[in-house]
A and B are shown apart, each in its own frame.
Chain A
Amino acid sequence: MSTAMEDPSSAVHLWRSTPWSWMRPEDADSTAVRMVLHDAAGSVSLNEGSPDLFPVVVDGPETTLPDVDDIARHTLADLDTAPMHLSLEGHHEEVVNVDLRAAGHVAVGRLHITCKGQAVVHLHLSGDAGWCGLHLTGKVANGSHLSVVVTDELHLESRVVRCDDWRVGRDATFETGTLSVGGFRRKSDLRHHLDATGGNVRIGLAVHGQGTRHDDHHVEIHHHVGHTSSSLVANVACGGRSRSVGTGRLVIDAGADGTDAGQVFRNLLLSQGARADAIPELEVLADDVSAAHGAASASLDEEQLHYLMSRGLGPEEAAAMIVEGFLADAFRPIAAAEARRTLRDRLTVHLDCARIT
């Protein structure tokens, strides 16, 4: 279907800062992202999913004309013919680790996760694919609690397109944390739907830009019914000549009274050549709601640097420590301690090897 679609113009909001022409795969021959499940308890299975689990566009009937906003989803569906399904039932004490290994010129993976119970899933994306496309979809059943941690450590010369579509049921909680440090150009379009009362979505996003890395995260949260809650915290640290774009689109439908939603974008600019854009958007069609957003941008705090250096740290170490604390703070809204620990550990490993400014 994507081949019939024209490239979205630069006026299309979703593709304004990162045009699709920058992100589209250059060669249709693709390999699958190899998915390896590490489950010590042996209680989880990763199988090829049936096609009905994978609607290309989650929110809307398939019969409507394709929207240019969904061009990435259609492209991924065209390229990946063997999507996988991870089914989680019951209470999982251990973190469920899935390695997503992207190799070759173009690598594509689609993974659908269903959760009935409680689980923490760690998706670790790595490899040296020139172009990597990933579509994550999932459903959190009524009363369930799913935490999904995504650590992206693709090779620094990779281009990455990621699409997410999550549906959250009654009294269910979906938490997700992303550590985005890999790839030299990235576009993420992450959409979350709160379908029933009592649903709760918590999102933490930490981005580190170095060199000429370009990272564009578009995060949508749709409150379709009332008495649902959501929070988004995006902390971005940009060094070198990197650029980050963070867009938060929070939509509260008519009648969704009792919604409590908030989002915060914080940008830390570490060098003169870095650039960070924040676009936190609200669309509110119900009146009895609490909806707020905030954005801030600043450089490293001289007082904090001075304090750490007076304790014997060098300027680089002091800056690295502040950046680590700042990025790790994005994961604070995530309640699952295992999920937070996983993200924090990967962040520490990354910053040990990375250039901060």
Chain B
Amino acid sequence: MSDEARDAVGEYRYGFHDPEVATIRFDKGLSEQVVRDISALKNEPEWMTELRVKAYHHFVERPMPDWGNESLLNSIDFEAVTYFLRSSEGTERDWDDVPEDIKRTFDRLGIPDAEQKWLGGVTAQYESEAVYHSIREDLEAQGVLFLDMDSGLREHPEIVKRFFNTVIPYTDNKFSALNTAVWSGGSFIYVPKGVHVEMPVQAYFRINAKNMGQFERTLIIADEGSSIHYVEGCTAPTYSTDSLHSAVVELVAMDGAKIRYSTIQNWSSNVYNLVTKRGVAHANATVEWVDGNIGSKLTMKYPAVILKGEGAHAEIISVAYAGEGQHQDAGSKVHHLAPRTTSNILSKSISKNGGRSTYRGMLQVRPKAEGCRSKVVCDALMLDADSRSDTYPTMEVGNASADLEHEASVSKIAGDQLFYLMSRGHTEAEAMGLIVNGFFEPFTRELPMEYASELNKLLEIEMEGAIG
């Protein structure tokens, strides 16, 4: 990397970018023809093509949301985005077969290393499609399907057709419509009845080209009594022009199943990260979102759980770090539709150097949801006077037997805590770093160990220069 490039990249750890090697690159801009071309290129069944086209028209007709950070949302130029770029011919199954430059990128991210050590499987998505996919043989023998979404549609169309677009229909919001129209890549997982995937499976998404849109679509189905932990990480290099990441993630936990979905989003500070994530939990099932937002220019992401079956449970733990020029508009939604459903929501945010963090939550109890319980806790730390923290929770309670609690607080780092640590020999910056790590600890302890240590390192980098 040249000095000039290094200067441009600045502090962003994953801000390196390889020369872009595209085998297929669409012109910028979006039209019905682009949507049809993407579908044709992938040889998709007709129902998918028609779904894409309907979603495209809905996207065009639907106005931009008039809430949240409207000025940033309205600055997105959809005609300046490349909607499809294929970096590699087909999805490889052997790491050695992946093109050298792409492999170099992922080597720097540590993906094969992680896989060898402990991960159940890996999908790496570079631009629009998965370039490398692997799954441990024992999982395959148990009938676990872990494919990139394009292969999932090709090889298991009956499962995809049954669940795709059911948890998050394209009419849900403008960006779910956009994703349904132009989706490419993402993960498809099916865990058969009673199978417990002991090791986490992992996907990594990376945007390398500038003005690139990445629209992965992930569908995870855990059949009755099964369980899985899926881990997702995202990065992008720093360019002077903006990129758009608009994913849709649908989770279906059948009776007694458990899905945990962990994300650490570390997009560079020119990426618009507008993501819709939602899970459905049937009777006695559990859906857990563990959601970290460190990077991006604007994130709007509210992982949701629909508690549809009696005794279902939702757990959402999220952290957000908003540095200079960043707006982390994140939160959570839980809809209690069935009796005796329970949920816990914990949200932590830090604002620094003029960053803005927003918690936007919805907790809804429908009239038939007898005997529900829920607890919501939101804590925000402000590290300087230029930053901002907002909390917009909504509780809608339509059943008298519900027992709900919500509490939130905004504060700065306590002087006595800093003083205590500094009296033990830490510098002010170290003391502040320790307090921040402790503040995020309820989140990091839920992550696999290597991700937890990765997050702590990222926070250390972000915290550099926090003093003075």
Q: Is chain B's interface secondary structure helix, strand, loop, or mixed overall?
A: strand
Contact string against B for A residues 262-289, beta-carbon threshold 8 Å, 1 for contact and 0 otherwise: 0000010111111111111111111111
Question: Which of B386, B391, B401 has the most chain A CB atoms closer than 10 A to its own CB?
Answer: B391
Decide if A299 touches B407 in the complex (CB within 8 Å): no
Among the stretches B14-22, B41-49, B211-219, B409-417, the one at the interface with A is B409-417
Give the 10 A-B CB pairs with smallest separation, nearest first. A269-B400, A287-B382, A295-B406, A282-B391, A292-B409, A294-B407, A297-B404, A291-B410, A297-B397, A278-B395
Number of inter-chain CB pairs below 8 Å: 116
The CA-CA distance from A354 to B252 in the complex, in Å, is 47
Contact string against A for B residues 40-78, beta-carbon threshold 8 Å, 1 for contact and 0 otherwise: 000000000000000000000000001100000000000
Decide if B385 touches A270 in the complex (CB within 8 Å): no
The CA-CA distance from A285 to B385 in the complex, in Å, is 7
The CA-CA distance from A282 to B397 in the complex, in Å, is 21
Contacts of B400 in A (CB 8 A): 269-272, 274, 299
Q: If the complex has contacts A254-B385, A272-B400, A295-B405, are A279 and B395 also in contact, measured as CB distance less than 8 A?
A: yes
A304 on the B face (CB < 8 A)? no
| Smallest beta-carbon distance B416→chain A, Å | 14
A298 on the B face (CB < 8 A)? yes
Question: Which of A11, A282, A286, A290 has the most chain B CB atoms closer than 10 A to its own CB?
Answer: A282
Given B398, B404, B409, which contacts A298 in the complex, CB threshold below 8 Å? B404
Decide if A282 touches B410 in the complex (CB within 8 Å): yes
| Smallest beta-carbon distance B116→chain A, Å | 44
| Smallest beta-carbon distance A323→chain B, Å | 13
Chain A interface size, as a band, is: 35 or more
| Smallest beta-carbon distance B245→chain A, Å | 25
| Smallest beta-carbon distance B323→chain A, Å | 14
Decide if A276 touches B397 in the complex (CB within 8 Å): yes
Decide if A284 touches B396 in the complex (CB within 8 Å): no
Contacts of B367 in A (CB 8 A): 272-273, 275
Contacts of A269 in B (CB 8 A): 397, 399-402
17 A-B pairs in the complex with CB atoms less than 8 angstroms apart: A275-B397, A277-B397, A278-B397, A281-B393, A283-B390, A284-B380, A284-B388, A284-B389, A284-B390, A285-B387, A287-B412, A291-B409, A294-B406, A296-B404, A296-B405, A297-B402, A299-B402
B408 on the A face (CB < 8 A)? yes
Decide if A257 touches B385 in the complex (CB within 8 Å): yes
| Smallest beta-carbon distance A17→chain B, Å | 9
Decide if B385 touches A277 in the complex (CB within 8 Å): no
In the complex formed, the residue of B with least CB distance to A283 is B390
| Smallest beta-carbon distance B402→chain A, Å | 6
Q: If the complex has contacts A281-B391, A294-B406, A295-B404, are A288 and B397 also in contact, measured as CB distance less than 8 A?
A: no
A92 on the B face (CB < 8 A)? no
Decide if B385 touches A296 in the complex (CB within 8 Å): no
In the complex formed, the residue of B with least CB distance to A300 is B400
Decide if A287 touches B398 in the complex (CB within 8 Å): no
Given B383, B395, B402, B411, which contacts A295 in the complex, CB threshold below 8 Å? B395
A contacts, CB < 8 Å to B: 11, 13, 254-255, 257, 267, 269-299
Contacts of A272 in B (CB 8 A): 367, 399-400
Decide if A297 touches B403 in the complex (CB within 8 Å): yes
Q: If the complex has contacts A284-B382, A287-B384, are A292 and B410 also in contact, measured as CB distance less than 8 A?
A: yes
Contacts of A281 in B (CB 8 A): 390-393
Contacts of A283 in B (CB 8 A): 388, 390
In the complex formed, the residue of A with least CB distance to B391 is A282
B394 on the A face (CB < 8 A)? yes
In the complex formed, the residue of A with least CB distance to B376 is A295
In the complex formed, the residue of A with least CB distance to B385 is A287
Given A255, A267, A280, A299, which contacts B393 in the complex, CB threshold below 8 Å? A280
Decide if B410 touches A267 in the complex (CB within 8 Å): no
Question: Which of A279, A291, A295 has the most chain B CB atoms closer than 10 A to its own CB?
Answer: A295
In the complex formed, the residue of A with least CB distance to B383 is A287
| Smallest beta-carbon distance B254→chain A, Å | 30
In the complex formed, the residue of B with least CB distance to A244 is B397
Question: Which of A267, A275, A279, A297 has the most chain B CB atoms closer than 10 A to its own CB?
Answer: A297
Contacts of A294 in B (CB 8 A): 405-408
The CA-CA distance from A276 to B403 in the complex, in Å, is 12
Contacts of B403 in A (CB 8 A): 297-299
Decide if A279 touches B394 in the complex (CB within 8 Å): yes
The CA-CA distance from A291 to B409 in the complex, in Å, is 6
Decide if B397 touches A286 in the complex (CB within 8 Å): no
